[in-house]
């Protein structure tokens, strides 16, 4: 647990440094950091609660026997493809009017930087965690190192998607989500809503018609909600 926190903040310091060197937009850190530190506390507690339930879901073993001897790297690849496909559809579901309240808090920051994406309600964490649980059988008999690697990759990735940097890579975006790619998803412009829903891979957005090419962006992005919501309801997700 202590190692996880150390790694979390070590990576966070690197993101802070990148944002200080090449910021995409000015961020009033003093105005938002303590709020996001509170959100991080809520996230950590919520995650501990959520896994008490999701870890007990009996998911049948569906990895074909022929693939049992696949190297751990191969199983990880399968795991990430299946999990990411699930994450895309869960995220898309969260943008329907019925489920939107559980995801609204995540879209509330008006300034995006690495820690701003940590805002997540309990049902938000639970729904996303279900995709992890559903993909777990693909790691049947995988080496033990795969699991802490996935956990830290998930945390680092969520923070990475929100980093406030000018850095861009059009070629990397053919496959992977980058900060500027995800920032479009946070835009309050109706033209960007329901766009770039991908978490790790950009292919689902291309295949399912929710892709917005960051190179096509003109003008400055504005972030945040277009509705006023009671802060307690925002954090609880109702
Ligand atoms: Zn969203
Ligand atoms: Zn986000």
Tell me the per-residue pLDDT of 10-39, one tens digit each, with 9 for 90 and over. 999 999 999 999 999 999 999 899 999 999
C-alpha span between 203 and 75 (Å, rounded): 20
pLDDT at 170: 87
CA of 228 to the centre of ligand 1 (A): 17
CA of 162 to the centre of ligand 2 (A): 6
Burial of 56 (0-12, 13-18, 19+ CB in 10 A): exposed
Average confidence (pLDDT) over 43-62:
94
pLDDT at 1: 65
Distances (CA, A) of 161 to 6, 19, 67, 133, 150: 20, 13, 32, 22, 16
Question: Residues whose CB is under 5 A from ligand 2 (ion)?
Answer: 117
CA of 108 to the centre of ligand 1 (A): 10
CA of 66 to the centre of ligand 1 (A): 37
pLDDT at 226: 87
Q: What's the pTM?
A: 0.94
Q: Judge whether 220 and 87 are in contact, CB under 8 Å.
A: no
Q: Judge whether 120 and 90 are in contact, CB under 8 Å.
A: no
CA of 141 to the centre of ligand 2 (A): 32
């Amino acid at each position: 647990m202590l190692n996880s926190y150390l790694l979390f903040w070590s990576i966070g310091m690197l993101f802070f440094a990148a944002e200080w060197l090449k910021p995409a937009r000015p961020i009033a850190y003093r105005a938002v950091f303590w709020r996001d530190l509170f959100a991080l506390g809520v996230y950590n507690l919520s995650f501990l609660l959520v896994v008490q339930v999701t870890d007990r879901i009996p998911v049948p073993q569906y990895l074909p026997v022929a693939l049992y001897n696949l190297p751990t790297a191969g199983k990880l690849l399968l795991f990430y493809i299946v999990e990411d496909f699930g994450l895309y559809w869960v995220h898309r579901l969260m943008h329907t009017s019925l489920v939107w309240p559980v995801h609204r808090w995540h879209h509330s920051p008006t300034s995006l930087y690495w820690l701003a994406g940590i805002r997540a309600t309990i049902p938000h964490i639970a729904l996303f965690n279900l995709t992890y649980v559903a993909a777990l059988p693909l790691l049947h008999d995988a080496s033990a190192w795969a699991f802490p690697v996935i956990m830290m990759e998930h945390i680092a990735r969520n923070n990475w998607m929100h980093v406030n940097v000018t850095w861009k890579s059009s070629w990397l975006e053919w496959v992977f989500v980058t900060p500027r790619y995800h920032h479009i998803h946070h835009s309050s412009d109706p033209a960007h809503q329901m766009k770039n829903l991908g978490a790790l891979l950009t292919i689902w957005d291309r295949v399912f018609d929710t892709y917005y090419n960051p190179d096509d962006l003109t003008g400055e992005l504005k972030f945040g909600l277009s509705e006023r919501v009671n802060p307690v309801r925002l954090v609880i997700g109702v």
